[in-house]
Amino acid sequence: MAHRQVAALTQMMDAVNAGDAAGYARVYAPDAVITIHGSGELRGRAAIEQYEVALLRQFPGARFAFFAVWQQGPSAVAHYAVNAATPRGPMGHEGLLFYRFLPSGLIAEERRYLDSMTPMAQMGLLGPSPARAVPALPAALHAYAANGSRAESENVATVTASLAALDAKDMAAFLRRVADDAVLDELTDPQPHIGKRAVQDWLETWTRAVPDTRSEITSILGAGDFVLVETIMRGTLQRPLGRLAAADKPFAVHRAAIFQLRGEKLARIACFMNGKELAEAVCQWPPRSGSG
C-alpha cells in the first residue's frame, strides 16, 4: 500500500508537469471525491479531469512537486508546492492533501487545504499589501510511514493537549510545549514566525481577533516525528485579522496543520487554511481588487 501511494503521487506530479490532465485524473478512482475547502467539491474522475484541464489552461507550464507524504494504512497526507508564470508575474502556493486510498492504489477521497488568496496577492489583485513569496519546488519526495510506536502515540497526545490548551485560552500551557527556536508558518501570512516570542505574538493576534476561538479535531495521524491534523475552527471575528475587518458574525472554517516534534517540544508548525473560506464566512468575499 505504501509503495502504491508513492507511485500514485509520483504519477500525479509527472502528469501535472507534462500538462496531462487525463493522466492526472487516472490516479483517482472513477467515483473519487475531492473536497477543496473554500472552493467546493469535485465528484468523479470526469469532473476531476475537467477541473485540471481548466487549471492547466489558466496556468500553462505550471510546475508541481511534493515535499513529503505521511502514511498510515489507506490514509496518507501529502505536502505540496506549485508555481507558475503568469502575465502578472510569478505565483504559487503550498498546500496539504489528506487522502484515502483504495487497495489498488487509486485515490478514493481527497481533502485539499490551500489558500486561494495567496496567488491573488502575488499577482497584485489584492492591492499593495505584502504577498507571500512564491515557493521553490522541493527536489525530492520524502515518505514517512507510521509504525505504531509509543513515541508516535506520545507525539499525538502532545499535539492534542496543545490544541486543548489553546481552546482553554491557556497560552502558558501551550507555550511550555513550544521549543525556544520554534518556527510557526501560517501559510496565509506573508512569512513564517520564528522563535517562541514570535509564536506568542501570533497567538496573541489570533486571540485578540477571535477571543472565542475553539477547534474540533476531525482527523489526526502520527508518523515518526510528525503529527498531521485536520480541524474545524469556530469563533467570531471581533477585531481585524490580516485583510479582514471585524465582523459580528460566527464562522466555521477548515484548518489543517503539520506539527514536527523534537523530543517533547513542538519544533515546527505549518498551518493551512483557505482565506477565501474565512472571508466568505464573515461576508467579505470577494475582496476589493487593488489593481484590476
Domain boundary residue, one of 121, 145, 169: 145
**Same domain, residue pair 131 and 222:** no
The pLDDT of residue 291 is above 50: no
Q: Report yes or no on 291 lying in a domain.
A: no
Could you tell me if residue 212 is inside a domain?
Answer: yes
Bridge partner residues of 241 (DSSP): 244
Residue 223 and residue 128 share a domain: no
pTM of the full structure:
0.96
> 235-262: per-residue pLDDT in tens?
999 999 988 999 988 999 999 999 999 9
Q: Which residues contact 208 (CB under 8 A, 6 or more apart)?
A: 239
Same domain, yes or no: 26 and 87:
yes
Q: What CATH number should be reported for the domain holding residue 196?
A: 3.10.450.50
Judge whether 213 lies within some domain: yes
| Residues 114 and 155 grouped into a single domain | no
Q: Are 127 and 170 part of one and the same domain?
A: no
- The predicted structure's pLDDT at residue 248: 83
pLDDT the model gives residue 289: 58
Instruction: Examine residue 95 and state whether it is found in any structural domain, yes or no.
Output: yes
Does 159 lie in the same domain as 141? no
Give dist(CA 122, CA 89) in Å, integer.
8
Answer with the residue of higher pLDDT: 292 or 222: 222
Looking at the fold, whether 122 and 167 belong to one and the same domain comes out as no
Is residue 226 scored above 90 in pLDDT?
Answer: yes
The number of folded domains in the chain is: 2
Residues spanned by the domain of 260: 150-281
- Indicate the pairing of strand 142-145 with strand 178-186: unpaired
Within-domain flag for 207 = yes
For the stretch 172-211, pLDDT in tens is 999 999 999 999 999 999 999 999 999 999 999 999 999 9
Residue where a domain stops, chosen among 145, 166, 186: 145
Which residues, in sequence order, are bridge partners of residue 223? Answer: 226
| Burial of 148: CB neighbours in 10 Å, binned 0-12, 13-18, 19+ | exposed
Please identify, among 86, 114, 145, the residue that sits at the C-terminal boundary of a domain: 145
Considering the domain architecture, whether residues 122 and 181 belong to the same structural domain is answered as: no
How many Å apart are CA 76 and CA 88, to the nearest integer?
35
Mean pLDDT across the stretch 107-136? Answer: 94
Cα distances from 68 to residues 48, 101, 131, 223, in angstroms, run 23, 16, 25, 12
60 is a domain residue = yes
Both 115 and 8 in a single domain?
Answer: yes
Name the DSSP letter for residue 37.
T
Would 289 be classed as within a structural domain? no
pLDDT at 292 over 80: no
Residues 160 and 46 in one domain: no
Kindly state whether residue 68 falls inside one of the protein's structural domains.
Answer: yes
